[in-house]
Every structure is written in structure tokens, then in C-alpha cells.
Amino acid sequence: MSPSVRRLLRNPLAVAGAVIVAVMAGLALLAPLIAPYDPYATNVDAILQPPSADHWMGTDRLGRDVLTRVLYGARVSLSVGFVAVGIATVIGILLGSIAGFYGRWVDSVMMRLVDVMLAIPTFFLVLAVIAFLEPNIVNVMAVIGLTSWMGVTRLVRGELLSLREREYVLAARALGASDARLIGVHLLPNGFAPVLVAAVLGVAEAILVESALSFLGLGVQPPFASWGNILTEGKDYIEFAWWLSLYPGLAIWITVLGFNLFGEGLRDAIDPRQDAER
């Protein structure tokens, strides 16, 4: 067992975060098997019923089971989080590798592009783009991913700037290794740890953005369930149907907390100096 893994396992908060992430991912994957009802089935005899033995989290304005819809909402929110972060990570690695490896004017151009993107508030940028597109899960994934690659780009660029002059890289270059081989084989694997941490933390941020977009009606559209659009329905009945806001809100909070705890623990395990500095 590597020292990083041992440090991670000795961190109770990181372990708790990993357990939360694993449980939420398991619930999302098994939603079709464990959900007690059809997420789209309406029941006029069970409209806005409070939590009970039949409906553990109550029902909504159409008589649909809230627990079922929260479980199916987990599938949507986690899918958006993972796919959006995957898109952002691929773009960030590509641009950061080019900037960090070649340096000079290439680095200057890439970093000015990053500065321009960072000058625009991310959420407002997402809102501006999604307003011109059909609001659905595919577009939400793409837009979040295409507007959140800047942090990964900076991380990869910084790592490659510090690694490209190492002896093993210079030796590989002297042996005739191509630029692509130097980046893909000798540089990126040794600088990937910070990217992994950023990806874990990025999933939490993507889930929050998706929930906010769905809450505003610009994300996943009904009848498909997402935590954000369940909250949207709940705000109209908050005075007497509190369960419509409480349970999806708790799901978002617990999931984001899990990813943040796990990401922070992973960062401390990979680079314990950061924990010592805090």
C-alpha cells in the first residue's frame, strides 16, 4: 500500500467523504431496482401527502413519490457532474500541456485566454450560453464542461513547467522522444495528482451548477427528475409541503459535502505538505 493511500485511510473525514460518494453513486445506479414507485406515475389520490409509511419522503403536487424522484434525480445530477468534469478535464489537460510544454508565446496566448475566461463569472457565462440552447441534460453537461476547464489548464501548465527540465525528461529528449511521447509518457503521469484532486472537487461544483440551472428552469426539464427541478416545485408549496424542499436540498448538501471532504483528503494525502502549512 502506497504512503498516499495510507495517509488517505488515516483521515476520517476523507474516508467519510468517500463513503458518502460511494453510497450516493450506488443509490443512483440502483435507482430502477430500489425505487418504490415509478418516477413518472401520478396519483390524484395522494397529492402533497406528508412523509408516511407508504411514501417515506411524501408526495408532490401530482402525487408522485418524492423518494423515488430523489433517487432518479441522483442519476441525473451525478451524471452531469461526472460528464461535465470529464469534458473540462480533457480540455484542461490538452491546453495546459501545450502551454506548459512549449512555453514562450504559446504559454502567453493560452494564459491570456484563461484570464479572459476567468474574468467572466462562470455561472453567468453558463446562463448566457444555455439561454440560446434547448435546456436538456446533454446541453447542460456540455455547457458546464466547456466553461469550467480553466482551473485544470492552470494546474497542468504549472506542473509541466516544473517538470519539463527534469533530468529524466532531458534524457528522453536526447534519446529522440517526440513531443507527444514526452508529454504523454514522461510529464503528464508525474503531474496528474493535482488534476485528480481538481476533478473530484469539480464534480461537487458541477452538481451545484446543474441544480441551480434546473431550479431556474434552464436545466433538466420535467417530467425528468433532478434535484434542482424538485426544489423548484417545492418553493411554491414551502409553507405547507416542506418535504418537497427539504429532501432534495439534503441530497444536494450531503453529496457536495462528500465530494468536498474526499477531495480535500485526497489533496492532503497526495501532498501532505499542504496539510502541514494550514
Please give the pLDDT value at position 278. 46
- CA–centroid distance for 248 within its chain: 17
Please give the pLDDT value at position 276. 44
Amino acid (one-letter) located at 26: G
Please give the pLDDT value at position 1. 64
Please give the pLDDT value at position 273. 52
Domain, as residue range, for 60: 3-277
Please give the pLDDT value at position 172. 79
**Looking at the 3D structure of the chain, how many domains does it have?**
1
Please give the pLDDT value at position 140. 86
* CATH number (domain holding residue 270): 1.10.3720.10
- The mean pLDDT values, 10 residues at a time, for the chain of 278 residues are 79 92 94 91 87 90 92 91 93 90 86 87 78 81 88 89 80 80 81 86 91 83 85 85 91 94 88 50
User: Is residue 157 a contact partner of residue 111, using CB atoms and an 8 Å limit?
Assistant: yes
Roughly what angle, to the nearest 10 degrees, separates helices 66-102 and 104-119?
150
Backbone angles phi, psi at 59, to 5 degrees: -130, 165
Question: What's the CA gap between 52 and 142, in Å, rounded?
Answer: 39
Backbone angles phi, psi at 65, to 5 degrees: -70, 125
